Amino acid sequence: MTLQQLRCLCAVVDEALSITKAAHRLHTSQSAVSRHIQLLEGELQARLIDRQSNRTVALTPTGQALLPTARRILKDVQSMRDTARDSGDMARGRITIATTHVHARYTLAPAFSRFRVSYPAVTLNIVLGRPAEIARWVSTGEADLGLGLPPADLPPGLLVTPCWRLPHSIICAPRHPIARAKRLTIETLARHPLITTGPGSRLGEMVLERFAAHGVRPQLAMLALDIEMIKIYVEAGLGIGVVPTISVRPGTGERLAIREADGLFPSSLAVLFSQNDPSARVFVRECMNMILAAPTSAHAERVTDDATDEPSARRASRSASGATGVVDA
Which residues, in sequence order, are CB contacts of 17 under 8 Å at separation 6+? 49, 56, 57, 58, 59
Cα separation, 47 vs 29, whole angstroms: 21
Reported as type and span, the H/E element at residue 294 is none
Would you say residue 294 has pLDDT above 70?
no
pLDDT band at 212 (very low <50, low <70, confident <90, very high): very high
Give whichever of 42-56, 87-101, 182-196 has the largest mean pLDDT: 182-196
pLDDT of residue 262: 73
What average pLDDT does range 185-198 have in this prediction?
A: 94
DSSP line for 127-163: EE--HHHHHHHHHHTS-SEEEEPPPSSPPTTEEEEEE
Would you say residue 297 has pLDDT above 70?
no
| Amino acid sitting at position 201 | S
pLDDT of residue 306: 39
45-49, 241-245, 280-284, 285-289: least confidently modelled range = 280-284
Q: What percentage of the chain has pLDDT greater than the value 90?
A: 27
Torsion sign (Cα): 216, 222, 226, 230: negative
pLDDT in tens, 214-236: 999 999 999 998 899 999 999 99
pLDDT in tens, 19-47: 888 888 888 888 889 889 999 999 999 98
pLDDT in tens, 47-75: 898 887 667 678 899 999 999 999 988 88
Characterize the bridge pairing of strands 158-166 and 55-59: unpaired
Query: Average pLDDT over the chain, rounded to whole?
Result: 80
What average pLDDT does range 266-290 have in this prediction?
A: 73
Cα separation, 237 vs 233, whole angstroms: 7
Torsion sign (Cα): 283, 287, 289, 293: positive
Q: By the 8 A CB rule, do 20 and 30 touch?
A: yes
Q: By the 8 A CB rule, do 129 and 98 touch?
A: yes
Would you say residue 1 has pLDDT above 90?
no
pLDDT in tens, 137-155: 888 888 888 888 877 778 8
Would you say residue 243 has pLDDT above 80?
yes
Nearest to 4 by CA among 35, 46, 49, 47: 35
Q: By the 8 A CB rule, do 233 and 158 touch?
A: no
pLDDT of residue 296: 56
pLDDT of residue 313: 33
CATH code 3.40.50.300 for 92-166+268-321: no
DSSP line for 30-73: HHHHHHHHHHHHHHHTS--EEEETTEEEEE-HHHHHHHHHHHHH
Characterize the bridge pairing of strands 55-59 and 49-52: antiparallel
What average pLDDT does range 288-304 have in this prediction?
A: 64
pLDDT of residue 87: 54
Would you say residue 304 has pLDDT above 60?
no
pLDDT band at 109 (very low <50, low <70, confident <90, very high): confident
Domain boundaries, the chain: 3-71, 92-166+268-321, 168-260
Looking at per-residue pLDDT, the higher value among 76 and 74 belongs to 74
Comparing 92-166+268-321 with 168-260, is the CATH topology the same? yes
Give whichever of 86-100, 122-136, 269-283 has the largest mean pLDDT: 122-136
Cα separation, 189 vs 185, whole angstroms: 6
Q: pTM of the entire structure?
A: 0.61
* 3-71 CATH fold: Arc Repressor Mutant, subunit A (1.10.10)
CATH code 1.10.40.50 for 168-260: no
